[in-house]
């Protein structure tokens, strides 16, 4: 029986690559070359059928030039199957004796956890993680509030250039998408309102529905969600990339507090821009309401503007604008917090960015529900 390596041509083309040759026939074979991890598959395939034959088999390993631990483990397996190893060189015998003398036992089988226990464990782990996450958010929000208030008290520590850049990126550049979304939301509310109220002859109240919904809830809510997905994720990605490049550590080494340089300008910028974006969204939403009223109710823009003061008042606009800076503060804090959590890899940047967006939107919805109940109780 003679066996030639499958990659003989490649081996000849690359002399530096180790090779193993199995030669001989019958019950006596010989190994030559290097029996190492790179050639182990070739040797195993060549000796697979031969190792299953009867007894009185011998394998000459005198011409083996090199032998590593995986190769020695393979030879020990052949020895356990009754193959006699002959011509073992002195430098290989010590390794064979060491490897063959090991008490190799299979790993114990992992006991399966019942399904009900897995559910309980997952619920407990989720509650534990949620508790620590809530504490981390409260701690970071407190630190951000402290540094922001300190910067407002001491204006010389502010960074106007950084703040103006973030105002432009989070506010001015976001105007087109915010305006378009506000118009589309007003159109959707108007269409649904007419469809639901027309059977009862109350389609004229669609104007009330659109105006109140946009000013009190939808304008600020849609704007906050868009800003969380657009600007909050940008904050996380920017600071996260700085973490991967160790720029945040460099700031600490220079004695500069990252909260003052990275977090405070973003918080102040977003607190400034989100109320302005909310006001723009309110105006665009009312314009969308006027368009849908003209199209579905034959109400002219002049009649629409005449009716608006009887439908809404200053409190409706106040409610939306009051919530905007609070939403902005939490969105900026969450985005910066997850940016500082990045551990140093591109995968970590993507993971923390996703978490920041999800958590920001969830927090905005929770706060909006809280304010809705609060203002209802206060009669605002």
- For 356, the token pair is 């920041």
Q: Domain boundary at 100, 118, 138, which? A: 100
How many C-beta neighbours within 10 Å does residue 265 have? 23
CA angle at 225 for the pair 224 and 231, rounded to the nearest 5°: 80
The confidence score (pLDDT) of residue 51 equals: 57
Q: Domain boundary at 53, 83, 100, which? A: 100
Q: Is residue 260 part of a domain?
A: yes
Contact between residue 59 and residue 83 where contact means Cβ atoms under 8 Å apart:
yes
One pLDDT digit (tens) per residue for the chain, 380 residues: 334 444 444 444 455 677 877 777 767 788 888 888 888 888 888 777 665 555 567 888 888 888 888 888 888 888 877 788 888 888 888 888 888 888 777 778 878 888 888 899 999 999 998 899 899 999 999 999 999 999 889 888 888 899 999 999 999 999 999 999 999 999 999 988 888 888 888 888 888 888 889 998 889 999 999 999 999 999 999 999 988 888 888 988 888 888 989 999 999 999 999 999 999 999 999 999 998 888 888 888 888 888 888 888 888 889 889 999 999 999 999 999 999 998 877 888 889 999 999 999 999 999 999 998 998 888 87
User: 3-class SS at 86?
Assistant: strand
CA distance 321 to 325: 8
Q: Is residue 3 part of a domain?
A: no
Residues 81 and 221 in one domain: no
Phi-psi region of 33 (alpha: psi -120 to 50; beta: other; left: phi over 0): left
Residues 274 and 340 in one domain: yes
DSSP letter at 55 equals S
Residues 27 and 148 in one domain: no
Q: Is residue 324 part of a domain?
A: yes
In sequence order, the 6+-apart residues with CB closer than 8 A to the CB of 51 are 57, 78, 81, 83
The confidence score (pLDDT) of residue 270 equals: 94
- HSE on the CB side for 106, CA within 13 Å? 3
Residue 206: which domain range?
Answer: 128-378
Residues 50 and 155 in one domain: no
Residues 247 and 354 in one domain: yes
Residues 87 and 181 in one domain: no
- For 362, the token pair is 């969830």
Contact between residue 47 and residue 29 where contact means Cβ atoms under 8 Å apart:
yes
For the domain that residue 70 is a member of, what is the CATH number? 3.30.750.24
Q: Is residue 111 part of a domain?
A: no
The confidence score (pLDDT) of residue 3 equals: 41
Q: Domain boundary at 100, 117, 147, which? A: 100
CA distance 261 to 158: 9
Residues 204 and 90 in one domain: no
Residues 351 and 240 in one domain: yes
The confidence score (pLDDT) of residue 176 equals: 92
Residues 222 and 281 in one domain: yes
Q: Is residue 364 part of a domain?
A: yes
Contact between residue 229 and residue 292 where contact means Cβ atoms under 8 Å apart:
no
DSSP letter at 3 equals B
DSSP letter at 114 equals P
Residues 139 and 268 in one domain: yes
Residues 199 and 271 in one domain: yes
Number of domains in the chain: 2
């Amino acid at each position: 029986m003679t066996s030639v390596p499958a990659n003989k041509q490649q081996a000849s083309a690359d002399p530096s690559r180790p090779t193993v040759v199995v030669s001989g026939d019958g019950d006596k074979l010989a190994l030559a070359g290097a029996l190492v991890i790179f050639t182990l598959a070739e040797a195993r395939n060549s000796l697979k059928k031969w190792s299953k034959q009867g007894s009185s088999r011998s394998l000459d390993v005198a011409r083996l030039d090199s032998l590593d631990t995986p190769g020695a483990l393979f030879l020990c397996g052949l020895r356990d199957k009754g193959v006699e190893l002959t011509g073992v060189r002195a430098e290989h015998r010590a390794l064979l004796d060491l490897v063959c003398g090991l008490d190799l036992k299979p790993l114990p089988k992992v006991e399966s956890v019942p399904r009900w226990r897995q559910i309980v464990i997952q619920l407990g782990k989720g509650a534990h993680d949620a508790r620590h996450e809530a504490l981390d958010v409260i701690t970071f929000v407190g630190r951000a509030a402290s540094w922001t208030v300190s910067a407002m008290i001491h204006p010389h520590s502010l960074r106007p250039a950084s703040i103006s850049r973030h105002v432009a990126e989070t506010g001015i550049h976001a105007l087109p998408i915010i305006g378009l979304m506000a118009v589309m939301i007003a159109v959707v509310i108007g269409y649904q309102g007419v469809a639901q109220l027309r059977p009862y002859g109350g389609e004229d109240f669609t104007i009330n529905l659109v105006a109140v919904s946009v000013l009190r809830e939808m304008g600020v809510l849609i704007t906050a969600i868009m800003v969380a997905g657009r600007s909050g994720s940008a904050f996380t990605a920017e600071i996260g990339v700085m973490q991967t490049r160790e720029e945040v550590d460099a700031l600490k080494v220079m004695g500069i507090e990252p909260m003052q340089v990275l977090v405070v300008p973003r918080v102040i910028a977003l607190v400034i821009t989100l109320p302005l974006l909310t006001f723009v969204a309110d105006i665009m939403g009312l314009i969308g309401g006027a368009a849908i009223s003209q199209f579905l109710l034959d109400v002219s823009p002049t009649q629409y503007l005449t009716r608006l003061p009887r439908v809404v008042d200053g409190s409706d606009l106040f409610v939306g604008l009051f919530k905007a800076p609070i939403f902005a503060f939490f969105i900026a804090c969450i985005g910066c917090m997850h940016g500082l959590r990045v551990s140093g890899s591109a995968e970590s940047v993507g993971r923390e960015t996703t978490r920041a967006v999800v958590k920001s939107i969830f927090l905005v919805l929770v706060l909006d529900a809280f304010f809705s109940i609060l203002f209802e109780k206060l009669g605002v």
